[in-house]
Structure 1
Amino acid sequence: MLITFFLDCYGSQGLCFLSTSVVLYSFKSSHCQNATNNKACSAPQFQIIIVYFSFYLVALAQGGHKPCVQAFGADQFDEQDLRECEAKSSFFNWWYFSMNLGTIMALLVLCYIQDNLSWGLGFGIPCIVMCLALITFLLGTRTYRFRVRSDERNPFVRIGRVFLNATTQTAISKEEEARGILPYQSSEQFKFLNKALLAPDGSKEYGKVCTVTEIEEAKAVLRLVPIWTTCLGYAIVSPQSSTFFTEQGLTMDRSITSSLQIPAASLQSLIAIGIVVFIPLYDRILVPIARAMSKKPSGMSMLSRIGTGIVLSVLSMIIAALVERERLKTVAEYGLVDKANATVPMSVWWLLPQYLLFGIADVFTMVGLQEFFYDQVQNELKSIGPALYLSIFGIGNFLSSFLISVVEKATSGPGRDGWFSDNFNRTHVDYFYWLLAGISASAFAVYLYTAKSYIYNRRNTL
């Protein structure tokens, strides 16, 4: 709880500094409107430092707050109580619902305030909201549940010791294993870790180095690695919604009325809208139906939920490729290939299915990953689980950028355009979408094999 409190404070302070720097700059710029010396009216170095300091402070708060607040919220439910177990599964749904509701407000309301009223007010409002949220969080202190700390050693030390002892032990022959040198045979996965039961001097005395429980903990962590790896395919696809999807929309007809045009960046709110609309349907309709059929508190297993979202993301990429092919066909028909700034006579609402599918896929995969990594780590590592889920998307963004660089270098050359170009009408992003769909589908095939062989580390896990 203290970590969550301090991270909330950091976020509030970052927004406060950012608002202050914007207000100070607005005062200075008002005196410089008629000035001829642009250098004299530029922002002072100290003010620039405050801006960047604010950005890093908010980023630090976000990076630590998200995994901590998820783990802290889920800790409020008793896993031994059936009704609370069901409620805990819903908690992840509604937490993600609230996050995306805030995203919609930021994209539609705060962006308007910043563009049309004041940047200082646009940053000041979330600062005030953060302070009110912090006060509300503190008011509930007496009602929160806290996990009892174990007297055992640090879980990182225990798990690290298992791997160290297993790798430093001499190899055990099959004949020795058959004679009972390794008596612990309850888990067939990662059997090499069973060697950590042996004493360091090579004698056949057991229990001197690692216990069976410690070995099981290490195996549970190791079982997460294939799931983490195979979900990178989904994470590589995810950044396209805020990059190429936006560029597609920028070239298309975005008119709502004769005088109103939707900003291309605001199209990302369609994903959040899809999430906000679908989560109540999922939690209140689909889950009870699935619960009645499967007799599981969560309706469907966490791995099944994650896999469903991956399939939907593949489908979204296929639809995006087909829409982009239709857009390029329209560009060619109207002779707009070399007119980068021309509006393609094609409604931006063609992009609606791919945006909404992305949102629905997030409800399955993103929320499923949050719950899965929280549930499958040791009790002492509950905040590490959500951090592992977030790291999938951090690495996925890097891999997506690397893939774009490789494709651009491989497809472009002297006198010929590649798949990417400054003129979006000369690109072949549809080819890239097909490539992403293939990568994600291949990753899903491996994910299926991994998920089928996965052993949950708790008997009450569904």
Structure 2
Amino acid sequence: MEVRDKTMFISDAVDYKGAPANRSTTGGWLSAASILTVELCERLSTMAIGVNLVTYLQGTLHTPSATSSTIVTNWGGISFLLSLFGGILADSFLGRYWTITIFANVHMLGSCLLAISTVVPNLRPPRCDPSLLNNCIEANGLQMAVFYIALYTIAVGIGGIKCSVSGFGTDQFDQKDDNEKAQMAYFFNRFYFFISIGTLLAVTVFIYIQDKVARVWGYGSCTIMMLLATAIFLSGKRRYRYKECLGSPIVQILQVLVAAIRKRKLKIPSNMQQLYETHSDESRIARTRQYSFLDKAAIVENEDDLMIESGSSKPWRLCSVTKVEEVKMMIRILPIWATTIMYYVVHAQMITFAVLQASSMRRSIGSFEVPAGSFNAFFIGAILLALGIYDRVIIPLWKKKKGTLGLTNLQKITLGLAISISSMVVAAVVETKRLKVAKSRSTTVSILPVSAFLLVPQFVLAGAAEGFVYSGQLDFFLTESPKGMKAVSTSLFLTTIAFGFFLSTAIVSIIRKVTQGSHDWLPANINHGRLDLFYGFIALLSCINLGLYLCSAKWFLRKKMQILNS
């Protein structure tokens, strides 16, 4: 009977009543499907708003092109950065279920407010001819304030959802059960598939609604999708498996740093056995000499002896060697983290200036006009195609010739960064041609007689680059981080996207200040600027970054080999 109970119930999960979760009535694919619906609708809503936001800013709120770009990239950066704080909230206080529930409603509230702001006359400036953008009345303080409130309400919702959806989905499968563990592997494949489907729907159907029907219907549809997703998610409450809040790994990192600083004047004992350790032989990590300053967090003082004897703990004062080593492992991956940020600067151009380029060019296929934001469908398609070719062609060939399962995670990132450079070079060449046509035409012409499909190669190359960089990063951060810090490593990965958007904002601001005047690279109307030189500058920075990345990867592999040998 006792054996049967063990197989029926899951030891580390509970049901909605707080009782041990029954394997037959909780979790599994039915529960995971409800959670995946939230991710599908969140991705759809976020991308439908984000990818086409630059055209709304310039065409409706009449903000200059560079300002529009920085607003979009700042919003994207903050959205991903908030996932880090959302993760702390979910792991330490609310739990994943309530975090998703609360922030899905926050996301829905923000998109609803954005939809309302597009139809209330006082919340947008008067319409004007887009070819005369310099003479249009820019949105006033109140109008921009309402817009920012709506936009950053959505950002808060994104941060809360992104940090919890994948984790709560994997909670529905018992890793100690071989059958459910195999199902969890398929969950990750379907998770990325749902993200891609949501994005494709966003950049095609929903952007078409925004451009050809009305913005209020486009943004209103996003609100309805989030409402539907929330309802489906809440309907699964009785079926879900819930896990206890164990605290955030970020807190552990801070504890080690604070404890090491407190004991900075102490000397590390010559006998390493004197350092504090509580983990079993199976789970402990051996001490390494690198970053030895942090080892001071594990030094046992007289005051600590009394605490240990009493059975109490003060993690802000004394940390185990294993906890210190886990923090060291996270520090070692920081150079790779820093040198992958630059790719997302390239990514940022695909949803900002590249969309503005498309909006100024002919986009017709027969009688059908492709919305400017929908050109990102080529970007998403390239991601899926690149990963498909890699899985079905490159991996089998690599295995046959070299006996390994394809490229390593660091090699994938290298390939992706190299392709992203070619994307910016191609973008600069195409923009040179577009500007040549623009200068030969009247300044009042809003659509230039040049095909927007010339932009397809830069979208395809940037998308292929993302396929390799994104998958390589995810693999690297999950495999090279300690077991107890998988969640924080995922958040660290998401911050590369955030800081990439912030870096794009900084570069745009610097370029505007340096080139303002007769040689303005990024004026209000891109037809009067030098976007080709801007793209060339991004390509140059990406080349420098690739060199730094290769040095960082070589250093990481050398240090890893030294640790393994020791």
What is the TM-score normalised by the length of structure 1?
A: 0.75
Q: Answer yes or no: is the 8 Å Cα contact 2:426–2:458 preserved in 1.
A: yes
Q: Which of 446, 455, 470 matches 1:351?
A: 455
Q: CA deviation at 1:352?
A: 0.8
Count of equivalent residues: 427
Amino acid at match of 1:324: E
1:315 is aligned to 2:386: no
Task: Kindly provide the CA deviation profile for residues 427-462 of structure 1, in whole angstroms up to 9, marking residues without a partner as x.
Answer: 2222222221121122222222223315789x9xxx
2:291 maps to which residue?
190
Q: CA deviation at 1:244?
A: 2.0
Q: Answer yes or no: is the 8 Å Cα contact 2:249–2:487 preserved in 1.
A: no
Q: Could you tell me how far apart the structure 1 residues matched to 2:117 and 2:437 are?
A: 46
- Any unmatched runs of 5+ in structure 1? 27-45
Change (3 A) 1:222 1:365: same
Change (3 A) 1:371 1:134: farther
CA RMSD of aligned residues (A): 4.4
Q: Answer yes or no: is the 8 Å Cα contact 1:291–1:300 preserved in 2.
A: no
Q: Answer yes or no: is the 8 Å Cα contact 1:104–1:269 preserved in 2.
A: yes
Change (3 A) 1:324 1:120: closer
Q: Which of 369, 375, 382 matches 1:267?
A: 375
1:62-73 aligned within 5 A: 62-73=158-169
- Report which stretch shifted further, 160-169 or 183-192: 183-192
Q: Could you tell me how far apart the structure 2 residues matched to 1:82 and 1:439 are?
A: 47
Change (3 A) 1:247 1:86: farther
1:162 maps to which residue?
256
Amino acid at match of 1:440: S
Q: Could you tell me how far apart the structure 1 residues matched to 2:438 and 2:144 are?
A: 43
1:239 maps to which residue?
348
Q: Could you tell me how far apart the structure 2 residues matched to 1:191 and 1:319 are?
A: 47
Aligned with 2:523: secondary structure? coil
1:357-368 aligned within 5 A: 357-368=461-472
Task: Kindly provide the CA deviation profile for residues 405-429 of structure 1, in whole angstroms up to 9, marking residues without a partner as x.
Answer: 222322344xx22323344344222
Task: Kindly provide the CA deviation profile for residues 266-302 of structure 1, in whole angstroms up to 9, marking residues without a partner as x.
Answer: 3233212323444444445545555667777x75433
What is the TM-score normalised by the length of structure 2?
A: 0.62
2:339 maps to which residue?
230
Change (3 A) 1:147 1:451: farther
Change (3 A) 1:144 1:240: same
Q: Answer yes or no: is the 8 Å Cα contact 1:92–1:367 preserved in 2.
A: no
1:303 maps to which residue?
410
Aligned with 1:341: secondary structure? coil
Amino acid at match of 1:161: Q
Q: CA deviation at 1:348?
A: 1.7
Aligned with 2:450: secondary structure? strand
Q: CA deviation at 1:52?
A: 6.7
1:401 is aligned to 2:401: no
Aligned with 1:417: secondary structure? coil
1:432 is aligned to 2:506: no
1:448 is aligned to 2:544: no
Q: Which of 324, 329, 335 matches 1:215?
A: 324
Q: Could you tell me how far apart the structure 1 residues matched to 2:216 and 2:528 are?
A: 40
Amino acid at match of 1:354: Q
Amino-acid identity (%): 32
Task: Kindly provide the CA deviation profile for residues 42-69 of structure 1, in whole angstroms up to 9, marking residues without a partner as x.
Answer: xxxx999998765444322111111211
- Any unmatched runs of 5+ in structure 2? 1-96, 122-141, 276-285, 309-316
1:410 is aligned to 2:505: no
Aligned with 1:232: secondary structure? coil
Q: Could you tell me how far apart the structure 2 residues matched to 1:357 and 1:69 are?
A: 29
Q: CA deviation at 1:388?
A: 2.5
Aligned with 2:333: secondary structure? helix
Q: Answer yes or no: is the 8 Å Cα contact 2:297–2:318 preserved in 1.
A: yes
